[in-house]
Amino acid sequence: MSDPTPPPARDPVRVGIDVGGTFTDAVAVSATTYALLGQVKVPTSHDHADGVAHGIMTALRRLLDSIGVGADDVGFLAHGTTQATNALLEGDVATIGIVGVGTGFDALATRRLRSLGKLRLDSGHALPVRYAALREPESPEAALASVDAVIAEGAEVVVAVEPFSVDDPRGERTVLDAAATRDVPATATHEITQLYGLGKRARTAALNAGVMPRMLQTADLVESSILKAGVRAPLMVMRCDGGVMSLPEMRHRPLLTVLSGPAAGVAGALMGEKVSEGVFLETGGTSTDVSVIRRGRVQIRHTELGGKETYLSALDVRTIGIGGGSLIRVTGTAPRRSSLTDVGPRSAHIAGLPYACFTDPARLEGARLVTLRPLEGDPADYAVLESDAGRFALTVTCAANAAGLVPEGDYARADPATARTALEPLAEALGTDVEDAARQVLHRATDRVSQVVDTLVDDYGLDRDVCSLVGGGGGAATVTPYLGQRMGLDARIAAHSEVISPLGVALALVRESVERIIPAATHADVLAVRAEAEQAVLDQGADPSAVEVDVTVDPQRNLVTAVATGATELRTKDRSSVADEAATRAAVATSLDARPEELTEYAATDQYRVLGLVRRPGGPLGRFTRERTHVRVVDSEGVVRLHSSDAEVDTLVAGEAEGALKDLVAERTVYGDGGAVPPAVWLLLGPKLADLSGVMDSGHLLALAGTEIARRGPQEKVVVLMERRR
């Protein structure tokens, strides 16, 4: 008798969990379609014996039960946490024992690091620092004595600091070995960054150490709980630059989880919404986080902590005190004698009042406009409604619903009629109608947001013709739609915007960034940095076939940076989502403000198509300028992934591409007072879109391109895009 046919295998599930200050949100996403399968929300378990780990496990169990899958079906599990951020904000950090390694001038330099004890965290608390010197770095006994000295003064974690450890870390490693002997958590500056600058490097390492004990404890609890639950998928943790890292990597560098909350939202926009050029606004009840995606990449910078710059590379995010719950402020409450002065920064949550637009309309009957102070010391100009049933907050959410800008089914949706009723007393005080009052509120609320968006668009050189605003968070519809109208930019609300952060965690790629100061870097130096970043994500489980590495070489600062990203499995999306010809051409035509029939196809691979058209710049001088080829690279789903307003496109085969590419780069290099400037280059190779635009030296450029091309079959197609640099 033959064996029965086995049941079909389930599609693996990707789980993302976002630990917030109040709630822990969890989502499950199909690994083949990326469709949202389920979501749950539980209170964050700060006060439980197992800390936030208990809330993570509670959310995971409820999530899997709600969608009817078992632990074996989980192919990927990641979580983001505000724990490290909150520790720095609240001053709840471990006592840090700095062991300064060196003699002579080195000893003098490290001794000055005792001043790190004066660093003030956002809470106002000083960073708790103890210090001991190690003048015999080659002696394990001396290192142990130095470690014992800081432990005796109350240190809970050790930081090894040596001036030139980026070149020779042996002294710092001696300290790490001594700390391991005493079973004390430890970190060293060379593990945090390979950049010079002792003060900034030590500051970053000290902050990393300050959050380490608590983060290690949480990591151990989460890992053991996950294993007990039967989940065998690798456990990943959200980073502050929009990627995820393995749990062992997080144990070394827990500081990378700081500011990971906003980064999770951007990852959701990048991976879920496929934003290639735009501004992402994550709006909650009190604030809006604004960040940039340029040419399919999040924008990163060294961030400040405790008022000082560090070597922590984090999302460039600007936070504005405007959210869905922000309160309206007025100069009085008399009919037709009041004026709108501001919106926020206080919110309904701070005032402890319910939103008027979510209230039973009967409770608003006879309501009048009054003002109050949300907190002691605040101005007494925050407007609320007062009726026999109590007081109710007039918020940005109320205005957006009254203006009809919150779509049906949205998380922030209220009954428009109730919202208009709520705004009637305000409209009467302002001497106008409800529609105008609502738009006055939204205009004032978006004043600072629009200024920040304009600054970011200019700072990062975003192309306004293709730039879009994407809203996420529970309050997305209260800010983004009106802001888009105001600025004349395409605006949309992300799908499932209320869970955009856990979605970002579920969809995020493994990421690693390597920075090196290398004066007069050779091709071999640049390739070595690239290889180091690639190996780092491979070591964390990334699939080798789809790892992408972007390299930037800054000759002015002698800085070589490589950012590698990859998935822990080869994610091949369900082919049913492939866009048809009409949809693809429509997407490209829209981004070019053209008709689909005007487009020319310049190249195509199995995964990408390059479409565009030729234009001559307009204006009075247009006839004297050369024609430009405007192109869009669109993927199989019809999503525009790359754009250029001045590109040349060539199709080569891998076996001959290196020689041909060398000739093309030489032909398209321009010369000026600053010397030779090669074109910006992108390569389409199989599933990869290799970005080489950050490399300004033609030799480095060709060496990196050669590395990418060498991995393809000799007859495989290679599409080259070259853009003239401005």
Segment 144-202, tens digit of pLDDT: 999 999 999 999 999 999 999 999 999 999 999 999 999 999 999 999 999 999 999 99
Rounded mean pLDDT of 205-226? 92
Output the pLDDT for position 259: 86
Output the pLDDT for position 567: 87
The stretches of 669-718 forming alpha helices (DSSP H) are: 698-709
Q: Name the pLDDT band for 122 (thresholds 50, 70, 90).
A: confident
Output the pLDDT for position 1: 41
Rounded mean pLDDT of 37-41? 94
CA distance linking residue 269 with residue 444, whole number of Å? 26
Strands lying side by side in the sheet with 13-19:
36-43, 23-30, 13-19, 74-81, 235-238, 244-246, 510-517, 559-566, 548-554
What are the pLDDT digits (tens) for 609-640? Answer: 999 999 877 655 455 467 899 999 998 888 88
User: Between the CA atoms of 499, 267, 204 and 529, what dihedral angle is there, to the nearest 10 degrees?
Assistant: 160
Phi and psi, residue 268, nearest 5°: -65, -40
Query: What six digits make up the tokens of 382?
Result: 């925050």
Q: Name the pLDDT band for 575 (thresholds 50, 70, 90).
A: very low
Indicate whether 3 pLDDT > 60: no
H or E element in which residue 153 lies: none
CA distance linking residue 642 with residue 153, whole number of Å? 56
Indicate whether 362 pLDDT > 80: yes
Indicate whether 380 pLDDT > 70: yes
SS3 per residue for 590-609: HHHCCCHHHCEEEEECCCEE
Indicate whether 574 pLDDT > 70: no
Phi and psi, residue 187, nearest 5°: -145, 165
Output the pLDDT for position 370: 94
What are the pLDDT digits (tens) for 428-473? Answer: 999 999 999 999 999 999 999 999 999 999 999 998 888 999 999 9
Output the pLDDT for position 618: 61
Indicate whether 563 pLDDT > 80: yes
Provide the 3-class DSSP secondary structure of residue 564.
strand
Residue with tokens 């079959």: 713
Output the pLDDT for position 83: 85
CA distance linking residue 134 with residue 264, whole number of Å? 41
Q: Give this prediction's pTM.
A: 0.88
Output the pLDDT for position 399: 97
Q: How far apart are the first and last CA of the chain?
A: 74
Indicate whether 707 pLDDT > 90: yes
Indicate whether 113 pLDDT > 90: yes
User: Out of 90-99, 116-125, 622-631, 661-670, which region has the weakest mean confidence (pLDDT)?
Assistant: 622-631
Would you say 105 and 137 are in contact if contact means Cβ atoms under 8 Å apart?
no
Output the pLDDT for position 577: 58
Would you say 308 and 119 are in contact if contact means Cβ atoms under 8 Å apart?
yes
Q: DSSP letter for 121, please.
A: P
Indicate whether 335 pLDDT > 80: no
CA distance linking residue 472 with residue 24, whole number of Å? 17
User: Between the CA atoms of 642, 646, 652 and 655, what dihedral angle is there, to the nearest 10 degrees?
Assistant: -80
What are the pLDDT digits (tens) for 88-103? Answer: 888 889 999 999 999 9
Phi and psi, residue 44, nearest 5°: -70, 130
Other residues' Cβ atoms within 10 Å of the Cβ of residue 420: 21
Would you say 171 and 102 are in contact if contact means Cβ atoms under 8 Å apart?
yes
Provide the 3-class DSSP secondary structure of residue 377.
coil
Output the pLDDT for position 334: 74
Output the pLDDT for position 249: 92
Provide the 3-class DSSP secondary structure of residue 128.
coil
Rounded mean pLDDT of 49-55? 88
Output the pLDDT for position 606: 87
Indicate whether 681 pLDDT > 70: yes
Cis link prior to 7 (omega < 30° from 0)?
no
Would you say 478 and 400 are in contact if contact means Cβ atoms under 8 Å apart?
yes
Other residues' Cβ atoms within 10 Å of the Cβ of residue 507: 24
CA distance linking residue 562 with residue 516, whole number of Å? 9
Mean pLDDT, the chain, rounded, equals: 91
Q: Name the pLDDT band for 693 (thresholds 50, 70, 90).
A: very high
Cβ neighbours of residue 432 closer than 8 Å, sequence gap 6 or more: 440
Locate the DSSP E strands across 636-687. Answer: 640-644, 647-653, 670-672, 675-677, 680-685
The stretches of 112-184 forming alpha helices (DSSP H) are: 140-152, 170-181
Indicate whether 270 pLDDT > 50: yes
User: Out of 318-322, 334-338, 499-503, which region has the weakest mean confidence (pLDDT)?
Assistant: 334-338
H helices, E strands: number in the chain: 20, 36
Rounded mean pLDDT of 63-77? 93
CA distance linking residue 691 with residue 684, whole number of Å? 9
